[in-house]
Chains A and B, each alone.
Chain A
Amino acid sequence: MANNAIPRDFLKNVLQNGMGRYVCQLQRITFRFCKSHPGSRHMRDFIENHLLDFTQKNPGVVVYLQPRRHRPPSIVAEFLNGRRESMEMMRKEPQEICKWAEYMRGRSGVQIVNMIHNNHTETPSTQGIWHPFMFRDSETAVAKFPDPKYSAVRETGKTATDYVLEEFNNKE
């Protein structure tokens, strides 16, 4: 796929989160599973053994359980900014489901796209952005070219030609 067809976006912070205190952006999480089908065996195991740990650690997150007959298990996460993400949990072991639930907790709810820059700043420069005339004398701006002052040959150290000439003169 062409590179410009991939959606891209800048780095975002939802509602300036973390500038004062941090607010968990995950609001609701739904675990959907079947009570009888072997496909949601691991999900049932997770609900029996690990779900209470998750709820106790995250009191700010509302947890729903939704049994659906003969349907694959999945997680649905709803974020503070109104976005909703679902993820299939078929053939994923309880530990893996734990990790994906934790992943959802860490998300800010912004859609995942290609990041243009890996930093974001409102004030790119405090001392002013450098340009080639920054520390130059402003006299050059008014000068009329050709100017003998600016077209003069700059003094350098002893060149190779000077050295050779000197040697030649010494010999003579």
Chain B
Amino acid sequence: MAAKTCTKNVMNFIMRSPKFYTSIKLKELLLCRQLYFGCLVRPCLGGSSLHSLPGNRFSSAVVSSPFPSLVSCRTKSTRKADIQISMNLGVCGIEKLEDFTSLSDKSLEDEVTGQINESLEQGNTGRLYAVVYIRGIQHKVTAGDLIVVKYDFPPNVGDRLRLEKVLAVGGKDFSMIGQPLLSRNFVRVDATVVEKTLSHNRVWFVYQKRRSFKKFHLYREIFTVLAINSIQVARLPEQNEEIENQSTQKLE
């Protein structure tokens, strides 16, 4: 909790000083990808949305500040991780991160990809699961699951999303793990925003004995509930195909 207030204070300070704000915003605009996840600069929204609800204690800064687009209301570690990932995921950077593990033994690699492809073709994969990264937190999901994304999350109710940061995908008898991400060409996780609510009243009570020091706060967090619609995995490229593709690319 202390970390939250700390970040908020820091952000308030930055908000008040226009120089800091412009420099940071420009920097982040350059780095930021136009994804919902991991974005630091929130897209500007209309007046009526959950983000600046008066009940939310983080929103007071939003309403009063002259620059409503820059908000931080997450824990320190989450934010750090998020920044790191979104820095790595610049528009040109994402391709580098998407990679499959290349095994040292090439015949083994061929065998594994062949087996996975075979099970995909025959439909023996069973129920697929995926590990998805949203706002600094990893969720293990299958189709039909519900996830809660805490704090402010721009998509509105009824929006369909494609969760692009997929860390791992697996079936009944195989699992693929990205380094750190899997390619968007092979994996697709779709979700729908089902609900945007506030949590119940949570108590933040601070007390020091023998000091007549007491704080009692009630606050409500913003929850966004996502329903996972589907997880799809495409056929993996095999060794021969890859070589052919490379040759054709070179030719082109």
Contacts and interface: CB of A to CB of B under 8 A. Distances in A.
Interface stretch (A68-76, A109-117, A129-137, A161-169): A109-117
Interface centre among A11, A16, A18, A98 (most CB of B within 10 A): A18
Given A17-B227, A105-B157, A106-B195, A123 B49 contact: no
B197 interface: yes
A108 interface: yes
Contacts of B147: 118-119
Interface string A84-121: 00000000100110111111011110001111001111
B66 interface: no
A102 B50 contact: yes
Interface string B122-143: 0000111100000000010110
B225 A112 contact: no
B7 to A, nearest CB: 21
Given A123-B127, A127-B175, A106 B196 contact: yes
Contact of A103 (B53, B142, B193): B53
A115 B158 contact: no
Contact of B229 (A19, A24, A114): A19
Interface residues of B, number: 41
A170 interface: no
B239 interface: no
A112 B148 CA distance: 14
A51 to B, nearest CB: 12
Given A24-B157, A106-B195, A106-B196, A118 B150 contact: yes
B144 interface: yes
A54 B199 CA distance: 24
B204 to A, nearest CB: 14
A124 B143 CA distance: 11
B142 to A, nearest CB: 6
Interface stretch (B73-81, B85-93, B100-108, B166-174): B166-174
A99 B50 contact: yes
B120 interface: no
Given A22-B192, A112-B200, A123 B142 contact: yes
A4 interface: no
A103 B197 CA distance: 7
Interface in A1-30: 6, 11-13, 16-19, 22, 24
Interface string A124-164: 00110000000000000000000000000000000000000
17 contacts: A6-B200, A11-B225, A18-B158, A22-B157, A22-B192, A99-B49, A102-B49, A106-B196, A112-B200, A114-B200, A118-B147, A119-B141, A119-B146, A122-B144, A123-B127, A126-B142, A126-B170
Given A13-B146, A99-B47, A106-B50, 20 more contacts: A13-B227, A17-B227, A18-B193, A18-B194, A19-B144, A99-B48, A100-B53, A102-B49, A105-B157, A106-B196, A107-B196, A107-B197, A112-B197, A115-B148, A118-B150, A119-B139, A121-B142, A122-B145, A126-B127, A126-B142
Nearest first, the 7 closest Cβ-Cβ pairs linking A and B are: A106-B196, A18-B192, A118-B148, A22-B158, A18-B227, A98-B48, A120-B146
